[in-house]
């Protein structure tokens, strides 16, 4: 099993990048970040479609796709860990998708095996990467009965 994060935009040297690197290093399940550039000269609906095409080109039909979107389901960390464990029972790789400034195209949401939300509030995309990496580390610690996640 491997976690893959597909994100629109490049993360520059920043405190957020340092935190992402910290959680990637801590996690025993490999986390791979795939950064994709968007064409900022297009119209909003064209940008979302172009981003969706880029994202879908990185995954196969057998991969598990989890989209992060404000309309998705919210989970406790324990329930999220159970969901990940269920989804990866066959050893498939998981791709998490963080959209660009205009969100995710409907084709990504339709392809997604599950859509999750970190809440109704809007967060900066770089902060969402931090939050996701922390939760992936937490998932691993819950699966391993590690004391990081205090129940």
Could you count the other beta carbons within 10 Å of the beta carbon of residue 141?
A: 18
Domain interval for residue 66: 3-143
**DSSP β-ladder status, 94-98 and 114-116:** unpaired
> Is the residue at 151 inside a domain?
no
In a domain, 148, yes or no: no
Ordered DSSP codes for 79-139:
HHHHHHHHHTTT---EEEEE-BTTB--HHHHHH-SEEE-S-SS---HHHHHHHHHHHHHHH
Residue 147: per-residue pLDDT:
85
30-39, 42-51, 57-66: which has the minimum mean pLDDT? 42-51
Average pLDDT (33-50) is 84
Radius of gyration of the chain (CA): 15
Residue 70 has pLDDT above 70, yes or no: yes
C-beta of residue 138 within 8 angstroms of C-beta of residue 149: yes
- Asked, for residue 62, whether it belongs to a domain, the answer is yes
Strand partners, 100: 103
- Asked whether residue 78 carries a pLDDT value surpassing 70, the answer given is yes
At 151, the pLDDT band (50, 70, 90 cuts) reads low
What is the tally of structural domains in the chain? 1
Q: Alpha-carbon distance 119 to 75, whole Å? A: 9
Return mean pLDDT, the chain: 91
CATH number, domain at 73?
Answer: 3.40.1280.10
The answer to the question of residue 135 being in a domain is yes
Name the pTM for this structure: 0.92
């Amino acid at each position: 099993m491997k976690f893959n994060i597909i994100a629109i935009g490049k993360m520059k040297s920043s405190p957020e990048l340092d935190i992402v690197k910290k959680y990637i290093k801590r996690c025993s399940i490999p986390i791979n970040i795939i950064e994709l550039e968007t064409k900022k000269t297009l119209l909003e609906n064209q940008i979302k479609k172009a981003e969706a095409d880029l994202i879908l080109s990185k995954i196969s039909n057998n991969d598990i796709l989890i989209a992060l979107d404000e309309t998705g389901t919210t989970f406790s960390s324990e329930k999220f860990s159970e969901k990940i464990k269920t989804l990866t029972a066959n050893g498939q790789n998981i791709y998490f998708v963080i959209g660009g400034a205009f969100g995710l195209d409907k084709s990504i949401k339709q392809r997604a095996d599950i859509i999750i939300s970190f809440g109704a509030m809007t967060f900066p995309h770089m902060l969402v990467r931090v939050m996701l990496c922390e939760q992936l580390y937490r998932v691993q610690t819950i699966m391993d009965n590690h004391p990081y996640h205090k129940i």
